[in-house]
């Protein structure tokens, strides 16, 4: 039962009690006085009750309206606040997530790119170094072989020439009948 219903019920009960009291008093005092007093009292009571009911109803209505308005306002405020908070939280969370995702993606991409670049660079440098070393070794080997061949050829030609000269000298000595005795002296072979 609300405050307004309780006030109205209390007023009705009060009127019933007054009507009962008025009838009893009117019969006791006399019909004429009872009618006059009863009618006057009833009219006064009705006006008083009407004014009291109006004032009580207005006050109860204002009180109930204020309470209902406050409760409805609080409820609506809470619901609107929750909904706005959820919406703002979702939007802020999405934006923060996107920002963090982009930043993390950029950082991861840079890190992966650097690592891949370093690894590819090292492998390329190794391969280039190997090719350069092989080419250098081949050129060095060719030059060494050429120099060795030239030196060998020169030594061979010099030895051949020396042998030829020695052979010619020996042949001439034999023709002349001379021989070298190892003491820087030439003597006849048959001496």
At residue 172, the pLDDT reads 65
Distances (CA, A) of 27 to 16, 43, 44: 17, 18, 19
**Region 101-130 average pLDDT:** 89
The residue ranking higher by pLDDT, 160 or 29, is 160
Does residue 7 lie within any of the structural domains? Answer: yes
Helices and strands per DSSP (H, E), number in the chain? 2, 2
**Region 24-48 average pLDDT:** 65
179 DSSP β-pair partners: 187
Helix axes 31-176, 3-29, angle to 10 degrees: 170
Distance in Å from the first CA to the final CA of the chain: 172
**Which domain does 23 fall in, by range?**
1-80
At residue 183, the pLDDT reads 47
Does residue 16 lie within any of the structural domains? Answer: yes
**Region 33-43 average pLDDT:** 67
At residue 173, the pLDDT reads 60
Domains of the chain: total: 1
Does residue 163 lie within any of the structural domains? Answer: no
Residue 191 pLDDT > 70, yes or no? no
Does residue 30 lie within any of the structural domains? Answer: yes
Does residue 134 lie within any of the structural domains? Answer: no
Distance (Å, rounded) from C-alpha 179 to C-alpha 169? Answer: 10
Main-chain dihedrals φ then ψ at residue 178, nearest 5 degrees: -110, 160
At residue 32, the pLDDT reads 56
Q: Would you call 37 helix, strand, or coil by DSSP? A: helix
Q: How confident is the model at residue 184 (pLDDT cuts 50, 70, 90)?
A: very low
Does residue 155 lie within any of the structural domains? Answer: no
Residue 186 pLDDT > 70, yes or no? no
Does residue 168 lie within any of the structural domains? Answer: no
Average pLDDT of the residues of the chain: 78
Residue 2 tokens, joined: 């609300």
Residue 125 pLDDT > 70, yes or no? yes
Residue 36 pLDDT > 70, yes or no? no
Does residue 132 lie within any of the structural domains? Answer: no
Is the separation of the CB atoms in 8 and 49 below 8 Å? no
Residue 145 pLDDT > 50, yes or no? yes
């Amino acid at each position: 039962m609300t405050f307004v219903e309780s006030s109205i019920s209390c007023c009705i009960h009060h009127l019933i009690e007054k009507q009962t009291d008025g009838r009893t008093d009117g019969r006791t005092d006399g019909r004429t006085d009872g009618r006059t007093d009863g009618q006057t009292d009833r009219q006064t009571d009705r006006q008083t009750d009407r004014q009291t009911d109006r004032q009580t109803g207005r006050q109860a209505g204002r009180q109930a309206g204020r309470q209902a308005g406050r409760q409805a306002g609080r409820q609506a405020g809470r619901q609107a606040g929750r909904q706005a908070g959820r919406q703002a939280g979702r939007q802020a969370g999405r934006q923060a997530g996107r920002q963090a995702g982009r930043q993390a993606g950029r950082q991861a991409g840079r890190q992966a790119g650097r690592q891949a670049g370093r690894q590819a660079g090292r492998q390329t440098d190794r391969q280039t170094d190997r090719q350069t070393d092989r080419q250098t070794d081949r050129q060095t080997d060719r030059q060494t072989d050429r120099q060795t061949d030239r030196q060998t050829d020169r030594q061979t030609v010099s030895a051949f020439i020396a042998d030829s000269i020695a052979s010619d000298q020996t042949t001439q000595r034999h023709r002349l009948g001379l021989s070298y005795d190892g003491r820087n002296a030439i003597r006849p072979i048959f001496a």
